[in-house]
Amino acid sequence: MDAMNQTPELLKAEILRLTRQYAKLTHGAMLPANDPARVCPELATSVIPYAGRVFDADEVEAAVSSSLDFWLTLGAQGEAFEAELAAALGVRSSLLVNSGSSANLIALSALTTSKLPPHRRVRHGDEVITVAAGFPTTVSPIIQSGAVPVFIDNDPVTGNARVDQLEQAFVPGKTKAVMMAHTLGNPFDLGAVLEFCQRHELWLIEDNCDALGSTYEMPLAKARALGFGPRFGQNPSSHFHASTGAWGDLSTQSFYPPHHITMGEGGAVNIVSKAALRSYAESFRDWGRDCWCASGKDDTCGRRFAWQLGELPEGYDHKYIYSCLGYNLKPLDLQAAIGRQQLKKFPAFVEARKRNWALLRAGLNGLGEFFEFTLPTHATAWSPEGFSWDDSGCRTDCSWFGFMLRVKPSAPFSHTELARHLDAQRIGNRMLFGGNLVRQPAFVHLRKERPEAFRVAAELDGADALMRQALFLGTYPGLTGEMISRMIEVIHEFVGLHATA
C-alpha cells in the first residue's frame, strides 16, 4: 500500500488490520482457555500462573487505535467505559482512576469533604471499622486520610469479617464508616453489615477489587427494610439480588492484570446511589478542584466566572478553584479503550472462574484430613451437588479471585512448605495477601511511634490463622483443564509424600 496516496481513515484501517494480524501471531497464549486458537505451552516445562492477562486481538486493536488518535488523557473512551461499567454493576455511576489502591484512597477521601454534614463527615481522629487480614491498601487510606482504622477479626472459613464483632468495634460519635473487602471474590455478610450501618448511620465502602461479578441475595422483605428493592425492568420475586459493589455507598474496583478484567493499571470508584458523592470523589481525583468540567471542556456549569468561594475574589476562574486537598489519579484513555473490550468478555470470564474453582474443589475433596476449604458466605457445607445454606435466606454467588485452602495444624506439613513445593513445580500460588496486617512491619512500626493510629477491637485469632495456614491457587480464565489437573495432581503427590513419611 502506498501510504502517501491514502486518506488518514484508510491508512488507520490498514494499520489496525495489521495490528490484529500481529496480535494473532504473537499473543496466542493470552487467549481464554476455551478458545480453539489458544496456544498452550508444554505443561512439563511451563509455569502455571495463579493469575494473568487474558485478551485477544480486540484489546490490542483498541489500544493501537486509541494511541493513533493520541488524545492520551481521559476522553471519550473513558466516558464510555464508566457508563458501561456502571450499567454492568447496576450503580449510579463509575469514576475511573489509575489503580484499585487509588480507588480506595479516593473513596475514603470523598467522605472527608467539608461539603458533608459534620455528623457524617470523616474527620481527623474519627474511626473506620475494617478487617484485619487482607490487602494493605484497603486500610492505608483510612490512616492517610487522618482517620483511625479499627480492626475486627476474620472468619477463616469465608476469609471475611466476623460481623458479630461490629458492635464491639463501634464507638458512638467516633465511628463514621465501615470499609472492607469481599475476600477473594467471596461477598462478606452484606445483610449484617448493612443493618449495622443503617442502625448507626454509617457509610459503607465495599472494596470490590477482588469480586467483580459476584452477587449477593437476600429476602425481599429484608432488602426493602434496608432501602433496596426490585429495580426498573426487574421481575419482582421473593428475593432481591445485586452485584457486590452495588450495596454500599461507594465501592471500588481494580483492573490490575490479575483481576477479573484488566487495563494494565487502572481502577474505579463506583457511586451506588448518592449523586453528590460523585462530585466529591471526582474533586479528590482531579487535583481537588471544585470544577467538574472534563479535560478539554470549559464552562460546563455555565458559571465559570460567576463563583465566589473561599476568600477568592468574585468571578475567579472556576477551573482553578480548589475545595479539597486532592490528587491527580486519572488513567489514560488508551487504558479505557482496552477496558471496554475486556468488559465484553467479562461474563465469560466470571463463568470460567466459577468453573475452575469447582474443578479444584472437587479434585481436592479427598484431602479433608489435611486441608480446610473455603465456603461462600452463608454456606454451611459443600458437596459435589452444590452448597448447603444457612437459614438466613441470604445467598452468595462468587466470582472467585482464587481458590483458598488452609493447611490444618495437624497436617504433617506447613502452608509454607506447600507453597515452596508448588513454586518448585512452577505452580503459581499466593498467601492471603498481607495476612494479619497488624503484624506487618509498617503497622508494628506505627504502633510503636503512634499507638493511637489504629485500634484492635477484638482478638484476631482468625486473621492469625489465615496468616499461618492459608494460601490460594489461581482460578483465572487462562487456566486450561490440563493445567488444573496438573495443580490437583501435584498437591495430591505432595500430600502423599508427607502422609507416608
Asked if 184 and 212 count as a contact pair (C-beta separation under 8 A), the reply is no
CA-closest candidate to residue 289, choices 307, 264, 302, 275: 307
Which grid coordinates belong to 189? Answer: 455478610
Block residue for cell numbers 479503550:
337
CA distance linking residue 427 with residue 234, whole number of Å: 43
Residue 379, beta-bridge partner list: 389
Q: How far is CA 492 from CA 368, 422, 495, in A?
A: 12, 11, 5
Residue showing cell 502455571: 48
Cell for 195? 443493618
End-to-end Cα separation, the chain, in angstroms? 69
Give the whole-angstrom CA distance, residue 142 versus residue 104.
9
For residue 473, which phi and psi values (nearest 5 degrees)?
-105, 170
How many degrees, rounded to 5, is the angle at CA 141 between CA 136 and CA 147? 120
Contact 266, 216 (CB under 8 A): no
Beginning with the edge strand found earlier in the chain, give each strand of the sheet holding 93-97 in spatial order: 93-97, 267-271, 250-254, 203-207, 175-181, 127-131, 148-152, 455-456
Query: Is residue 404 within 8 Å of 186, Cβ to Cβ?
Result: no
Residue with cell 493510629: 453
User: Which is nearest to 467 in space by CA: 36, 54, 131, 235?
Assistant: 131
CA distance 252 to 327: 17
Measured CA to CA, the distance from residue 163 to residue 172 in angstroms comes to: 18
Residue 285 and residue 82: Cα distance in Å, rounded?
A: 15
Q: Which residues are catalytic?
A: 259
Q: Between the CA atoms of 146, 117, 175 and 392, what dihedral angle is there, to the nearest 10 degrees?
A: -130
**Whether 284 contacts 326, CB under 8 Å:** yes
Alpha carbons 447 and 436: distance in angstroms, whole number: 14
Strands (E), 315-413: 371-373, 379-383, 386-389, 395-397, 402-407
